[in-house]
Chain A
Amino acid sequence: MGSQELLEIFKNEAEEIIQNLESALLTLEDNPDDETINNLFRYLHTMKGSSGIAGFGEVSEFAHHVESLADKIRSGELAVSSDIIDILLRAVDWFKAKIFDPESGYDFELNRQLILDDLASIGNHIPVKEKKEELNVFRIRIKFREDIFEYGTDPLILLEDLYVSSDEIVEWNVSKEKLPDLDQMDPQKVYLCWKMIVKTKLSEKEITDIFLFVKDDNDIDIADITDSYEEDDDIDIVNENNRLGDLLLKKGIVTEDELNSILQLQDYKNKKLGELIVEKGFATKKDLDKALQVQGKIRNKIESSTVRVDTHKLDNLMNLLGEIVIGQSAITRYADELDDDTGYSLKNALYGLDRITREFQEQIMSIRMIPIGPTFGQFKRFVRDSSHKLGKSIKLEITGEDTELDKTVVEKISDPLKHMIRNSIDHGIESSEERVAAGKSEEGTIYLDAYHREGNVYIEIKDDGRGLDRKRIREKAVDKGLLGKDEEISDSRLISFIFHPGFSTAQQAGEFSGRGVGMDVVKNNIEALRGSVDVSSEEGRGSVFKIKMPLTLAIIDGMLFRVGSSTYIVPLLSIVESIQPKKEEVQTIEGKGEVVLVRGKYISLLRLYDFFSEEPDNKNPWESLLIIVEADGRHMALMIDDLIGQQQIVIKSLDNIITNKKSVSGAAILGDGKVALILDVHGLVKDFSFEGVAK
C-alpha cells in the first residue's frame, strides 16, 4: 500500500473520529454516562494509534496526553465539567487543524502548549464516582490475516484498545507457533495469535466494536462467558445458533425429549416456547431470563456484522446497472419489432427482468442511504460555541436523526444547514434579556428535524426567536429596486427576497452573518441538489425553514419529450400540466418577451427549438404543445413538439461538457443508445420566467 493511500485511509478515519469525539464531548457535558466516557477514551486511543501509523507523530503524541486526561475521567479521578469539555474541544480543534488544514496559519505549537498547560492544571479535581463492580467476562480468540498491514491497520492498536478497556486480565496468551525464525520471517506479515479471558465493564457490543473494521476479514471470536464463568464454561456463544430451545438444551436446563415435547405442544398452543417451558416446569423463570439474555447478546453480535464499502464501488455498481437498464430497453425495442408470438414471449420475459432490475436498483440505492444524525450532531458544537461567543443562551434540539438519505445529499446539505443555523443564532434568537422582556424563556431553542414524506426528505430548521422583520425586508427590497414603493406583494413573495443575492436586513454585519452573502448561496446549493426551501415566519414567535430534497440524486422520474429530432427530459415533479394554447393566448410583452395566458396569468413562453437550435415540426405555439413547469412558486411554459412518456431515469453527470449549465442538469442514455438532456427547471425559471396577472 502506498503512503498516499495510507494517508487517505487515515484522513477518512480521522474525520470520523473527530466527529465522534465532538459528539461524545457534547453528550458528556449534558450526561456524563459511562458509555460515552468509554467511547471518548476509545476515540482518542484510536486517534493516537492511527495517526502514529500514518506518520502524524505530533498528533499521536498529543492524543496520548489528551487520552491520559480521558483515562482519569474514565477511572473516576476527574469530574466532568464545562472547563474540561472546553479544553477537550480545543484539543479536537487542534487535531482537526493539524490533520486537515496544516497550512492554516494556526499556531500549532503555541496552542498545543496552552492546551497541555490547561490539561495539567486541571489535575486537582475531586473524584466523582466509585468504580462499578459488575464486570462482564469475555473469552476472545484472535488471529489476524497475515497481510493486514497492507490494509493500513496495525493490529497492535486494537489489542491495546482491548487491553486498556479490560478491568482485569484473567488470561492473556500469545501464541508464537506461526512465528518463523528471524531470518525466515517477512516482518511485514502478522504471525502472532492471541487467546485471552478479560473482565471489563464494556458490553459485548463495545468489545466487538473494537474490532468492528477487521472482524469480517480476520478470525476473531468474542464470547461473553459472564454467566458461565466460575461456575461452568459450557455455553459456546460463538455458535450463532440463537434459538432459545437450543440454548437451554446446551446449558443442560432442558433435555432433548423435553424440548421436543414442548415444540410439539407449541404447534397447537398459541404460546411462546419460553412460557411453555416454564409452565411445564422444565425450567425456572430465572433460567429462562438468563437464556433470553444470552439470546439477545448473540442477536446483537449477528446484527453488528457490517462491512465498509468504498462509495465509488457503489457508484460503479449503479452505473453498471444503468447500462443493464439501457440494454434492456434496447432489447424491448427489438421485441416490439418481432412477430406476435415470439415478441410476446420475449416481452413477458423482459417484464420479469425489469421487475428484478428495479428491485436491484432499490437495493443499491438503499446501501447508499445513510442517516442524517451525524450531520445534525456536528451542529451541537457549532451552536454551543457560536452562542457562547455572542453571549446568547441557545440550545439545539434534534429529532429525526435516523432519517436516511443518499450519502451525496447528506454530504452536500451540511453547508446550507450550517448557514441557516448561523442565521438563527445571529439574527433569529434574541438575547436572554430581550427574550425575558418579551415573556419568553431565557434560553432560545433551535430545532432540527428530518423526516420522509411522499418520496422526499424534509429537513426543518426552526427557531423560537424574533421571526423575520417584514417591514425591514420591504424597505430593503424597495431600496434595492426589487419592489415598487407601494407595490402590493404576497407574503411568501416578500419573504422570498431574503434569498436574493446581496440581501440582508441585518442592521450590522455580525461575525456570523449579516453581510448579505449567504441565503442566495444556500438556496442555490439546495436547488443544485434538486431541492427547494420554503420559509414561514411569525413575528415574535420564530421562523421555520423547510428544505425538501429528493431521496437520491442518481435517479429521477422524468417525462420524455421531443423537440425536432432530439429527446429531452423534464423531472416529473416539476411538471404542472401540458396544454395546447389558443392563438390569442400567446402574446409578446415589451421587456418581458413572449408570454402565454394560462388560467388568468401570463407566464413566460420558451421556444425550446430556438433555445437548443432544433428544427421543430411547427413554429406556432398554438399548433404545438406547451409543458407548464414550476419552480420556486413560479411557472413557465416550454414549447415542445411531442410528449413521449414517463420513465425512470438514471442521471449521468455532464460535468463541464455543456456550457449552459443553468438550463441542463444532466443527461440520460435512452434504450436506443441516444443521449437525452435533462432540463434544469430551476435554472430555466430563474433565467426566463416572468409572471403577471392578466388585466
Chain B
Amino acid sequence: MSDNGYNNNDENVEEFSEESLREIAKEVVQRRIGLQNHLRVYIFVNILLFIINYLTFPLYRWHMWPLLGWGIGLGYHIFGYITFRRGSFGDDAKAGISYHVFTYLIVCAFLFWIDFLFTGTMTWSFFPIGGWGLALVIHLYVYITNRPKTGDDPRKSYLDREIDKELSKIRKN
C-alpha cells in the first residue's frame, strides 16, 4: 500500500489486513488469558473451600455446591471461548441452538446429580429433564427446517426468504 493508501491500482486488496489479523490475535489472546485466570481462581478457591470444609465440618460436604454451581459458569466460559476461537457460529440461529443444547446438558447433569445424591436414584429430576428435553427437540426441529439452504441469504429471516421464493415463482409464471 502507498503512503496515503489510495494511490496504487491493481493491488491485492484483502478483507483482513495484517493489522486486522493482529487485532484479532490480540482478542484471542486476551480471551485465553481471561479463561486461564478464571480457571486458576476456580481451582484455588475451591481447594480453599474444601480445606475449610474438611477442617470445620467434614461430615457434610458443602464445598460441592460452589464447586458445581461455579462449574456451570466456568463451563459456559470454556464453551464460549472454544466456539469463538473456532468461529463456530456464523449465524445467530446456530449460536442459539448450540447454547440451548449446552445449557440443557450441563443443567440436567447438575439436577440429576442432586437428585441422585439425595435419593440414590432418579426420582424428581426426570420431570425437568423430560419436559425441557421436549422443548429442545422442538427447537431443534424448527432450527433444522428453517435454516437457510444453500444459495439463500443467511441474513434474511425465514419469512423474508419464503416471500422471496414466492415472488420468484410469480415472476416465472
Partners in one complex: no
Interface residues of A (CB under 8 A from B): none
- Which residues on B are within 8 Å of A, measured CB to CB? none
